[in-house]
Structure 1
Amino acid sequence: MASDVISTDRVEEANVYSAAGDKLGSIDDLMIDKVSGQVCYTALEFGGFLGIGTDRYPIPWSMLKYDVAVDGYVVPLDKTQLEGAPRYSSDAVPDYDDIYRSSVDKYYGL
């Protein structure tokens, strides 16, 4: 029987695909609410070449669905939608305060 839980080190670096099956990138980080303990966002590593010049794209965790067929996560997004999404470099992680979270949620229509 397969487990319904997964270790964070297996989630980080997991591949993320569009609904059409295109690989969008991989999970770089999880953003966890300190009080509730719930995962709120994932930072998707997207763009660049061989890990150079990649940015982090915060995506609300609720948008990701694990798909055993691809052994990764699927989001209802494509590369074009991500190119216009909020993003940051790995050395400039923003505070996930209410204003920032609101802007990310608004971009994704949540």
Structure 2
Amino acid sequence: MADTLDRETHRLISSDKVEGTTVYNPEGEKLGSIANVMIDKRSGKSEYAVMEFGGLFGLGSDQYPLPWDMLTYDTEVGGYVVNLSKEQLDGAPRYPREQMPAYDDAYGRSVYSHYGLTYPVY
């Protein structure tokens, strides 16, 4: 099994280390954790961090696609920080873990629009 040095450098991190990382709001409250990362096949850029939030031990939790650029890694807390409150997540785009959407351009535009961001064109 690879150790931390094989999966993380000063600037890069392995996707398996991102999954499970806690997401906090600026006040330090835990919002959820990264379930997976959605990467554009052509550009290789991370487009979404899909955060799992709610439920108990993963049961009844929903998946929240967050545009990758909304997250900032904070070494002090050892997780990602996103400028959202738990209340703001109530109306955010989400889906049950078993029903992943198509992640097509229309869906992407709706997610980015919800957060007041411009959907990227590659």
TM-score interval, smaller chain: over 0.9
2:4: which partner in 1?
Answer: none
Distance in structure 1 (CA, Å) of the matches to 2:46 and 2:102: 15
Count how many residue pairs are aligned between Structure 1 and Structure 2.
Answer: 109
Structure 1 residue 34 corresponds to structure 2 residue 22: no
Name the SS of the counterpart of 2:27 in structure 1. Answer: coil
1:16-67 residue CA offsets vs partner (Å, 9 max, x unmatched): 0001110000000100001000000011000111211000000000000000
1:5-26 residue CA offsets vs partner (Å, 9 max, x unmatched): 1111110000000011100000
Larger radius of gyration: 2
Name the SS of the counterpart of 2:108 in structure 1. Answer: helix
RMSD: 0.8
Could you tell me which of 106, 114, 122 is aligned with 1:107? 114
Identity %: 54
* Matches for 1:36-75 after TM superposition, within 5 Å: 36-75=43-82
Could you tell me which of 79, 88, 106 is aligned with 2:86? 79
1:90: which partner in 2?
Answer: 97
Distance in structure 2 (CA, Å) of the matches to 1:39 and 1:17: 19
- The runs of 5 or more residues in structure 2 that have no matched partner are 1-8, 118-122
User: Post-superposition, which runs of at least 4 consecutive aligned residues in structure 1 deviate over 4 A?
Assistant: none
Q: Which has the higher contact order (CA 8 A, sep 6+)?
A: 1
Name the SS of the counterpart of 1:43 in structure 2. Answer: strand
